Chains A and B, each alone.
Chain A
Amino acid sequence: MTQLFRTSAGGWIDRAAPLRFTFDGRPYVGCAGDTLASALLANGVHLTGRSFKHHRPRGIYSAGVEEPNALVEIDRGPGRRTPNLQATQVELYDGLAARSQNRWPSLRFDALAALGAAPGLTPPGFYYKTFMWPGFAWKRIYEPLIRRAAGLGRAPREPDPDRYANRYAHCDVLVVGSGPAGLSAALAASETGARVVLCEQDGLMGGALRDETRALVDGCAAVDFLKQALEVLRARDNVQVLARTTAFGVYADNLVALAERLGDHLAAPDPSAPRERLWQVRARRVVLAAGAIERPLVFPDNDRPGVMLADAARVYAKRFGVRAGSRALVAASHDSAWLAALELHAAGVDIALLIDTRDAVAPRLREAAARAGVDVQLGTRMRGARGRLRVRSARIEAPNGARDVPCDLVLAGGGWTPTLHLFAHVRGKLVWSDALGAFAPDNVREDLRCAGACNGALDLSGALAEGWREGASAAVFAGFPEPAERAFRVEDDWPCAGGAPAQEAPEGEAYVDIQNDVKASDYAIALREGFRSIEHVKRYTTSGLGADQGKTGNVNASALVGALSGRAAAQVGLTTYRQPYTPVTFGALAHMARGALFEPQRETPTHARALAAGATFEDAGQWKRARAFPRAGETEAQAAAREALAVRGAAGLFDASTLGKIEVAGPDALAFLQRMYVNDFSGLAVGRCRYALMLHETGFVMDDGIVARLAHDRFHVTTTSGGAASALHHMEDFRQTEFTQLRVWLTPVTEQWATLALQGPRARDILAPLVQGFDLSPAAMPHMSVREGALCGVPLRLMRASFSGELGFEINVPADNGAAAWDLLLEAGRPHGLAPYGLEALDVLRAEKGFVIVGQDTDGAQTPADLGMARMVGTRKGDFVGARSLRLPHLASAGRRQLVGLRPRGPAPGLEEGMQLVGASAPAPGTHAQGHVTTVRQSPTLARTIALGLLESGRMRIGETIHALTPDGALELDIVAPAFFDPEGTRLHG
């Protein structure tokens, strides 16, 4: 029998089902029903890790989610290494392999423990004070060193191979916690039909009822009451019981996030089943029955392995049949620690002494101790613990003097802290309770109520009664009949008085936040250095900033800061708890939303054609857009150059379907567009189009496109691809809320039309034979006109427009006909030398012409004049969106950055978009940047590098030079007009 500390009977474990596991490579045996922590303790292992900052040896401290010390790494194969798991929460399975963390070379001998041995070395704030200079050293020396020394587990490097599920649910009442209060709340709430979800973070339901072997509920053992209640709940169709499910966050309007763990407790999880499931539950009312967490006592070396929360040791004995040690000193300031002492004594642990800081306790406690033969000393406090890797003795200070008590276990029970993390997530108000020595909820919210220990009802009868009351009231709140009253008769309930929090800061290594290595004396330092607000003290000392969010330490921290600064803990307050209550895996948060399911993918009507042609693609928002169509042996850049030359020399075909398209119709459609765009459309005849600029009300360009007049009261308007949604939103905003008297309707038709841009000198020759219904000749259809007819019998909306500088058409056919039209045009164009082209060639062609791309050459702070488009702004049409702003001094002033062309003298491989423009070739640090480069392209037509940029007073400086700052030095550029090719625009009128 290896499990020397296992009792012979009792608990929720199966002694007949041994499970093998390893810890740091050493083999051990535990039982089915164990946690990793209980199995280690059963084998006499306390030492489980090294502390975060001081590398102090640490042991298992608790039996629950508050565990600050026993963090381990569980390795289940590639991509399945999980760091920072609490050994108290890891359910044992056969073959489990756990490792301790933050130690080198070994757990028993840790080289960095010198940090802990020299206590003055790492005071609070030492990061801020110590590693200041020289500047370069932070990145190269200090940070890597600190990261190696501090920190806990190692993140896995491989992709997560597991599957995670996601579920939305609605219910009337969500009960968080299945202890006595939660259980009775769920019973009451579900009795009259309300839909109830009951979630429990542990694998074993029941909370404190699991370990209650003394008190009787309604005449039966508490454990039997628990089993019956669960049977009742599981039999009800309107109840969903979720085990291993942590409610980790409450959000606005009672949206509660739950993480359900489905596979981690199994030796061989079903590979097709999800590992975890994220629940997003919208509840009419939440009943929070989250219980309470026992508070540690603050004394020197209170972090030594073998020092443990008193009730945790009781839980190990009762739930897991494990004696946490052989000889215990129990240090109490609360009645519950007396119960721990007595029950451990009954389980075979020798109780060396039971001390209590109080001078008097209820006679019932003393009688029970006397009956059991447990020695008691009142008015006595802890002064220290000896033993490095395991406690050897406890130093106590009794009224008659100090002495050492030999023991291998020190159990500290300093009272109970209501678990109010979830309550605080939605800014529930906490009020100080002297009776608890902790903060309690004001419990006045209608949608979220606390019941049981988290509301201060620490006794079994109180928790059961309060749970029933809140469950019943929740059902009524959700519109269901009130269930009949139910009184629970509890016999032999244990008293629950005491629990004043820490009031003095002992010298030495007396830890308050054990996980983050914050000592009592650190608070004094923080206060001395001027930090007063508990929020500031928290950040300076890092108290409560650990993964456990100060579950054990926070109340002691507030009380201590109060005592040290002459304030009551109530005045000091508590730092804000944030979601998540306990750590949640990224997998659960991402659930299905990864890989191809991360975001919807939008494909143009010719997507399959582009794929088949071997096109390269670019993600533009959700769109997949073809970048180029490389032929065998071509690079993407070579393909783009060939495609651009094809457009200039013959013709090219481009799928422009991603352009936003809005149909604007109504008697006041013209008046509306007059107000939404800078242009004056009053002279725009039916059948003509115009390039148009849309401004924010602030006067800055937000979008551009073409406004085509189809009829007196109907326009086809295009927007940029990326701006389609926001341009429509902007137009709807003014239509619905500002220009409400205008009779106009907006219909987004982006996905109704496939748009194919046919550009190049041969475009008309290719297209004309295929079109029915109108004449394409230059006289009949000049540049910037629109016609409706048919393309080989399919409805056609044709615009003569060009973003390439060549004769061009934008062919709109119904989206379903887009691929067929693509095939048809490529076939018809083959004799003419037509080539499909992608975004890369498009960008070269437009850059050669100096056409801007909104969002590339603009950054949301350019006026039309900045872009050289002041002439487009209608001056006689009255107000439009953005008009007034253009007259504001800072928008109308001289010296603004203006769009210019930039031409390097030779090849300029180092020139990149975003580079700053400065006057000097060797600028001193702090030199004023006069502008920046927005576009750089290799022009195959001109056989040179061309660029666009925004430069202060740029248009007045054409003919001068400027320097772009590259990593290899300044590069001289000629300032030229933006149009590098065919500046007169003769080609597009061809």
Chain B
Amino acid sequence: MLLIPCPVCNMARPEREFRYAGEAGLVRPHDPGAASDQDWTDYLFARANRKGVHEERWRHLHGCGRFLVVTRDTVNDRVLQSVPA
């Protein structure tokens, strides 16, 4: 079970306090109405699913409630960084 540092609570806390919220860094089209079908479905469904250093969102559900961007190496499951989203 991961230990995730929460930059808001300023503590490393066990994974079960958090809720995973998918890949980070997705950009919602500024004007969704103007986005093409392709751009919009890419935003909805296309994910990098990176092997290695990966940025992902976690919410400190049973803590401060904040969404965080956590940098994790998916190869060795190490959390490298955690910042508020």
A600 at the B interface (CB under 8 A): no
A253 touching B44, Cβ below 8 Å = no
Q: How many of chain B's residues touch chain A, expressed as a range?
A: 20 to 34
Q: Tell me which residues across on chain A come within 8 A of B40, comparing CB atoms.
A: 884-885, 888
Q: How far is the CB of A132 from chain B (nearest CB, A)?
A: 36
Name B22's closest neighbour in chain A (CB-CB).
A733
Given the complex of chains A and B, what is the CA–CA distance between A252 and B4 in angstroms? Answer: 11
**List of A residues within 8 angstroms of B76 by Cβ:** 426-427
Taking the nearest CB of chain B, how far is it from the CB of A11, in angstroms? 42
User: Which one of A255, A282, A737, A888 contacts B41 once the chains associate, using CB atoms below 8 Å?
Assistant: A888
Check B61–A729 contact: CB distance below 8 A: yes
- What per-residue 1/0 map shows which CB atoms of A156-178 lie under 8 Å from chain B? 00000000000000000000000
A77 adjacent to chain B (CB < 8 Å): no
| Measured CA separation A126–B27 after assembly (Å) | 53
Does B80 count as interface, using CB distance less than 8 angstroms? no
0/1 per residue, A228-257, Cβ < 8 Å to B? 000000000000000000000001110100
Q: Is the CB of B44 within 8 A of A732?
A: no
Known A252-B1, A427-B76; contact A879-B67, beta-carbon cutoff 8 A: no
Which residues of the partner chain A approach B41 to less than 8 Å between Cβ atoms? 888
A941 contacts chain B at the CB level, 8 A cutoff: no
With A252-B1, A737-B67 known to touch, is A729 a contact of B59 (CB < 8 Å)? yes
Q: Is the CB of A879 within 8 A of B31?
A: yes
Decide: A879 and B44 in contact? CB cutoff 8 A: no
Tell me the bound Cα distance from A889 to B38 in angstroms: 11
Question: A882: nearest residue on chain B (CB-CB)?
Answer: B32
Asked if A482 CB lies within 8 Å of chain B CBs, one says no
Query: Is B50 in contact with chain A by the CB < 8 A criterion?
Result: no
A538 to B8, CA, bound (A): 47
Write out the residue numbers on chain B whose beta carbons fall within 8 Å of the beta carbon of A883: 32-33
Task: Tell which of A252, A282, A426, A736 touches B66, judged by Cβ atoms closer than 8 Å.
Answer: A736
Inter-subunit contact A733/B3 (CB<8 Å): no
Contact residue among B33, B57, B59 (Cβ-Cβ distance under 8 Å from A879) = B33
CB-contacts of A278-310 with B (<8 A)? 282
Asked if A738 is an interface residue, CB under 8 A from chain B, the answer is: yes
A733 CA to B61 CA in the complex, in Å?
A: 11
List B contacts of A427 (CB < 8 A).
75-76
Question: Please, how many angstroms separate the alpha-carbon atoms of A737 and B15 in the complex?
Answer: 21
Query: What is the bound-complex CA distance between A729 and B65, given in angstroms?
Result: 9
- Verify B32–A879 contact, CB threshold 8 A: yes
Of residues 400 through 447 on chain A, the ones whose CB sits less than 8 Å from some CB of chain B are: 426-427
Contact of A252 among B21, B61, B77 (CB under 8 A): B77
| Residue of B32, B65, B67 contacting most chain A CB atoms (<10 Å) | B32
A698 within 8 A of B: yes
Task: Provide the B41-85 mask, 1 if CB < 8 A to any CB of A, else 0.
Answer: 100100000000000010101000111000000011111000001
B2, CB-defined interface residue at 8 Å:
yes
CB nearest to B19 among chain A residues: A729
Q: Decide: A732 and B37 in contact? CB cutoff 8 A.
A: no
Query: Taking A729-B19, A884-B35 as contacts, is the C-beta distance between A253 and B65 under 8 angstroms?
Result: no
Interchain Cβ contacts under 8 Å between A and B, 12 examples: A252-B77, A253-B2, A427-B76, A729-B61, A732-B59, A736-B67, A737-B67, A737-B85, A884-B32, A884-B33, A884-B35, A884-B40
Closest 8 pairs between A and B when the two form their complex, measured CB to CB: A884-B32, A253-B3, A252-B77, A736-B67, A737-B85, A252-B2, A255-B1, A879-B32
